[in-house]
Structure 1
Amino acid sequence: MDHDVVLAVDIGGTKISAGLVGADGQVHRQSEVATPATRPLLEEAMRGLLTSVADGASPRAIGLASAGPVDPPRGRVSPVNITAWRDFPLLDLVGAIMPGVPSVLVGDGIAAALGEHWLGAGRGVEAMLGIVVSTGVGGGLVLNGEAYAGPSGNAGHIGHVVADPAGPLCSCGATGCVEAYASGPSMVRWAQSQGWTGPDARALSADAARGDAVALAAFDRGAQALARGIAATAALCDLDRVVIGGGVSAAGEVLFAPLRKHLDGFLTLGYVRRLTVVPFELGRSAGLLGAARSALPTAQFESPTPA
């Protein structure tokens, strides 16, 4: 285990997780920390997390999944939901923490989709979209059975597909993006503007499950925008499946029931109506496992890597 592993890191607006992962997808050691708000604390958190998880092991490569946009050729990230990092040299930081270990950078949406395609709800699917609905709304594509990141590394970023040009301002600077409706904070802000007094997305989900009218309306509004983005992506990319994870997806049928209802109206073309929408099987581990999977081709294991 000490040698035939990669170090996987999943960086999001809420948490940063890291783990040692084998070529078979088995996670041998894992830890996570809350995402700090300032650049010095972010760097300190990364250093502490990576050194503690890698302690005593010799990972053969590092797979980094980060909220985007990402710039893999330059090793830099500018996560919309981590304002302290703008054009931040993430690969340089990791190289200083773990010198001599090759690193691969991918967007967190791509990583989650890749993890689910490798070991979860997307196994065997030719064309799929993975979506993470949490602090933001990220996405990643698998086309022809292979992860497709695009030339810049940001393909599949469904959160910034415009659902309504006259909609609310998004954190990216545009108006009416899917994320401006469907992310946890966006749904909470809208519900609070309608008189709901709860603190966060978890409370909103619980109130919706109990039948609170405003909470249910917030989820319906977010699900409608998400359905518009999914329908557009399905028409463009000829998708078989959409897999959805992230903290907001933990609401279960509170999210999936209105999502299916709206999709039924938006998926009008015959070839897109085969689309199935399912929750992640890997849960919070999807991005971490996808980060690991992205690093495996770079790793030089002492024993043969399974196909």
Structure 2
Amino acid sequence: MQTDLNAALDIGGTKIAGALVDDRGRMLVRATRPTPAQEDGAAVMRAVHTVLDELTAAPEWSRTSVVGIGSAGPVDAQTGTVSPVNIPGWRDFPLVAGVRERTGGLPVVLVGDGVAMTAAEHWQGAARGHRNALCMVVSTGVGGGLVLNGRPHPGPTGNAGHIGHISVDLDGDPCPCGGRGCVERIASGPNIARRALAEGWQPGPDGDATAVGVAAAARAGDPVAIRSFDRAAQALAAGIAATATLVEIEIVVIGGGVAGAGEVLFAPLRRALKQYATLSFVRGIKVVPAQMGTDAGVVGAAAAAQQYRAGALAATSV
């Protein structure tokens, strides 16, 4: 029997997406459901099962031999459990066991959503061809993942590269993770908007008080909005420089809703990076927008499954 497809799940606080993906990254079958994030854990798992049921009902399912999952985290690939910050009903939730049961015992590979995005960008997107890269999602939160020596590096638990929780302000605001002054606490979309509002910025006629509204105001020259994005860019640059100093990356790929601000974010980020990345081996880092868009999570989960099939990544053994 031909088994050339990877099943993939992308699980976040807003949606649960699934697909059957071939070895060139093409999605042959898709399924999506909203995430009932404020309901109990069983309700969220039922939504996952609904997506899986659509995939397993497709004729192409017979060609599938492994399931890749990219989930909001933290995740624990060793135990097969997840504790997404934005899904309160899942704490140490046995996601892998539930998926394996619904898919007839297929092997399951679990990674964090930042690692999945990284795998997608390295396989099909902006990091393709680079042996050492940092890929980031800057959105409601800030996540990331690493490519080292030509392969995505999930780490033992599937969370490696989670740059959002590097502390860049030792006396900064407490972060929900328990730390203080984290990149996410400064550079995420809600925190960009929070800071702008606290400093007197007023939304425009459309009433958009999110980071999208702040970005529009910054484009129009609003000094408070510009300062809020500059501060976010500074935090990102400090985290990137610290990461690059540790592992010598060549390129940084940034996606997510905040990255949609374009040069409002990227121009001050590149300026700030020159101030922080000063050692000879980190000065030449390129910073580019992500290319995979909303498909990154699913394609990245499929990439993790593809790595398993190639013998480069282990399935979660629970």
Task: Please indicate, yes or no, whether the TM-score normalized by the shorter chain is above 0.5.
Answer: yes
Give the root-mean-square deviation of aligned CA atoms. Answer: 1.9
What letter matches 2:273 in structure 1?
A: L
Q: CA deviation at 1:264?
A: 1.2
8 A contact 2:78–2:156 mirrored in 1: no
Other structure's SS at 1:100 match: coil
Partner in structure 2 of residue 228 of structure 1: 238
Matched, 1:154 2:189: no
Gaps of 5+ in 2: 311-318
Other structure's SS at 1:86 match: coil
| Cα shift readout 1:56-84 (whole Å, capped 9, x = no counterpart) | 23132110001221110110011233332
Q: CA deviation at 1:298?
A: 4.2
Q: CA deviation at 1:34?
A: 3.4
Return the alpha-carbon distance in structure 1 between the equivalents of residues 164 and 14 of structure 2.
17
Q: Structure 1's 252 and 299: CA in aligned 2 closer, same or farther, altered over 3 A?
A: same
Partner in structure 1 of residue 253 of structure 2: 243
Return the alpha-carbon distance in structure 2 between the equivalents of residues 206 and 15 of structure 1.
26
Partner in structure 1 of residue 4 of structure 2: 4
What letter matches 1:267 in structure 2?
A: A
| Cα shift readout 1:109-151 (whole Å, capped 9, x = no counterpart) | 1111111111111111111111111111111111111111222
Q: Structure 1's 62 and 279: CA in aligned 2 closer, same or farther, altered over 3 A?
A: same
What letter matches 1:221 in structure 2?
A: R
The aligned length equals 299
Return the alpha-carbon distance in structure 1 between the equivalents of residues 132 and 84 of structure 2.
26
Deviates more, 1:53-62 or 1:278-287: 53-62
Return the alpha-carbon distance in structure 1 between the equivalents of residues 86 and 56 of structure 2.
27
TM-score (norm 2): 0.88
Q: CA deviation at 1:155?
A: 1.2
Partner in structure 2 of residue 293 of structure 1: 303
Other structure's SS at 1:140 match: strand
Return the alpha-carbon distance in structure 1 between the equivalents of residues 81 and 75 of structure 2.
6
Other structure's SS at 1:8 match: strand
Selected match of 1:89 from 83, 90, 94: 94
Matched, 1:50 2:55: no
Partner in structure 2 of residue 208 of structure 1: 218
Q: CA deviation at 1:44?
A: 2.5
Partner in structure 2 of residue 105 of structure 1: 110
Other structure's SS at 1:270 match: coil
Q: CA deviation at 1:16?
A: 2.4
Q: CA deviation at 1:297?
A: 4.3
What letter matches 1:145 in structure 2?
A: G
Q: CA deviation at 1:192?
A: 2.3
Gaps of 5+ in 1: 301-307
Partner in structure 2 of residue 303 of structure 1: none
Selected match of 2:197 from 175, 192, 200: 192
Q: CA deviation at 1:33?
A: 3.4
Other structure's SS at 2:182 match: coil
| Cα shift readout 1:41-100 (whole Å, capped 9, x = no counterpart) | 322221222222443231321100012211101100112333322111111221233222
8 A contact 1:6–1:299 mirrored in 2: no
Partner in structure 1 of residue 278 of structure 2: 268
Percent identity of paired positions between Structure 1 and Structure 2:
49
Return the alpha-carbon distance in structure 1 between the equivalents of residues 178 and 106 of structure 2.
36
| Cα shift readout 1:205-256 (whole Å, capped 9, x = no counterpart) | 3333333333222211111111100000011111111111112111111111
Other structure's SS at 1:60 match: strand
Q: CA deviation at 1:299?
A: 4.9
Selected match of 2:130 from 94, 107, 125: 125
Return the alpha-carbon distance in structure 2 between the equivalents of residues 249 and 184 of structure 1.
10
Partner in structure 2 of residue 163 of structure 1: 168
Other structure's SS at 2:17 match: strand
Return the alpha-carbon distance in structure 2 between the equivalents of residues 255 and 64 of structure 1.
30
Matched, 1:278 2:283: no
Partner in structure 2 of residue 140 of structure 1: 145
Deviates more, 1:291-300 or 1:68-77: 291-300
Other structure's SS at 2:177 match: coil
| Cα shift readout 1:184-204 (whole Å, capped 9, x = no counterpart) | 122122222223343323333
